[in-house]
Structure 1
Amino acid sequence: MIFDLPLRSSQGREDFFVAPANALALATLDTPALWPQRRMLLIGPEGAGKSHLAAIWAEEHRAPLARAADLTDDLAETLARAGAAVIEDADRAAGQPQAEEALFHLHNLMQAEGGELLITAATPPRDWRLTLPDLASRMQATAQVTIAPPDDALLAAVLVKLFADRQLTVAPALIPWLVTRMDRSLAQARRLVAALDARALAQGRAITRPLAAEVLDSLA
């Protein structure tokens, strides 16, 4: 019997693999005292590690975390009272008047009270199509740090972590074999491991190169 159980990904600092692609982002988040106006925008594609870095920062700074699309003025005031906050997926608030107004309200509250604000997004603010001019101006003026595309070492480390999160054991040689054949994105790494897990369970097979080749073909 196969159960679709929720997957808990380890999100501690010790679980974050530092590589050239993300080293600058990590170093920037470790020095919030240097952020202009105590705000920082963390940019990176899906699966790049933004949520992991945000979770590390939130835990270490005792900062509540919320998604931009869920923001209201009341929630913004609650977050501001904490003195530090994380807002994820700010680009997804674009076109939602309540969320845009609340994010602008949160900016103002944090600036007035000297709080620290970390915001994540997949793309720069110029690409969000914000409808609130004041918010667009604030976001474009916010300091930014970007997670670069992953290199081989980072892809390999992420694959190892993803397999470990699912309690899957694979041959060490399979990791570099996958790295040279998969699309070079961390989002693809997540999809690949999930697909390997699902097919191995469904067919009662071990995760080997033949199975991996079948899954790579299906994803392509």
Structure 2
Amino acid sequence: MRAEDFLVAPCNRVAHALLARWPEGQDPVLVLTGPPGSGKTHLARIWAERRSALWLEAAGLAEPPAAWAEAASWVVDDGERCSDETFLFHLVNLARAEGRGLVLTSAFPVAVWRPRLPDLRSRLLAAPTVAIDPIDDALLAAVLVKQLADRQLRVGPQVVHYLVARMERSFVAARRLVGLLDALALERRRPITTALARDALQRLGHALHDHHEREETTPWT
């Protein structure tokens, strides 16, 4: 996940700008939220590399790596899956006491996943929060075009529009879809057309209907 691969768009511009300077002169603890596949982990990894931060998976906090307390800063990914809230509570306190940065990512706002430990919940609710909004059409199209170009694949704008209107709205889905399009085009020795795009979507199980209908029933995906 390279910094140059992160595409800035209206849905993530505020979060990207904030992480670029975090935590200079600010509360060292930041909560970064966004729907699954919205790019929050990618953005957190860019920050972690720049700050030499120790990467921690929330689900693995019950067994943290040795010398975790000596890290320059930390990222805790998927906070809602935290396996040891007491450890996370102490980590938040350490980050604040020593001014070392801590970025906690989550698919949901803290008020939604509600840590069971009251002291942890109150500290995280008081921490600054920045959200990445669901991916918009322009960003999803740009991601598809870039990933296709990275594979030296040329696709017409009408095919990109067809895909954007029907595919799952996440970066993970885009990567899988582009990989399948590449494989199908190579297998059939054909360019990527709307017909081939339709086959790829069907293979991935994507619903072939307008994405606005889907957003009404599944706003987080």
Common fold: TM-score over 0.5: yes
Tell me the residue number matched to 1:6: none
Q: Does 1:140 align with 2:125?
A: yes
Q: Does 1:91 align with 2:80?
A: yes
Preserved contact between residue 111 and residue 125 of structure 2 (Cα < 8 Å): yes
What is the identity percentage for the equivalent residue pairs of Structure 1 and Structure 2?
A: 45
Amino acid at match of 1:87: V
Which of residues 107, 111, 127 is equivalent to 1:122?
A: 107
What are the equivalent positions in structure 2 for 1:59-74 lying under 5 Å apart?
A: 59-72=49-62
TM-score (normalised: structure 1)? 0.80
Which of residues 45, 69, 73 is equivalent to 1:55?
A: 45
Amino acid at match of 1:171: V
Distance change (3 Å), C-alpha of 1:124 and 1:39: same
Tell me the residue number matched to 1:3: none
Preserved contact between residue 167 and residue 206 of structure 2 (Cα < 8 Å): no
Alignment: residue pair count: 203
Distance change (3 Å), C-alpha of 1:60 and 1:16: same
TM-score (normalised: structure 2)? 0.80
CA distance in structure 2 between the partners assigned to 1:164 and 1:202 by the alignment? 15
Q: Does 1:40 align with 2:30?
A: yes
Unaligned runs of 5+ in 2: 208-221
Preserved contact between residue 42 and residue 118 of structure 1 (Cα < 8 Å): yes
Post-superposition CA distance 1:78-110 (Å, at most 9, x none)? 3332221111111111xx3xx211111111221
Post-superposition CA distance 1:19-60 (Å, at most 9, x none)? 111110011101213564211111111111111111111111
Amino acid at match of 2:91: L
Runs of 4+ more than 6 Å apart = none
SS in 2 for 1:26: helix
Post-superposition CA distance 1:105-148 (Å, at most 9, x none)? 11122122221111111100112142211111111111100011
Distance change (3 Å), C-alpha of 1:73 and 1:182: closer
CA distance in structure 1 between the partners assigned to 2:60 and 2:143 by the alignment? 29
Post-superposition CA distance 1:52-79 (Å, at most 9, x none)? 111111111111211111114754x733
CA distance in structure 1 between the partners assigned to 2:25 and 2:61 by the alignment? 23
CA distance in structure 2 between the partners assigned to 1:129 and 1:14 by the alignment? 34
Tell me the residue number matched to 1:219: 206
Distance change (3 Å), C-alpha of 1:116 and 1:47: same
Post-superposition CA distance 1:142-185 (Å, at most 9, x none)? 110001122222111221344456x3624243323312333444
Preserved contact between residue 110 and residue 124 of structure 2 (Cα < 8 Å): yes
Question: What is the aligned-residue RMSD (CA, Å)?
Answer: 2.5
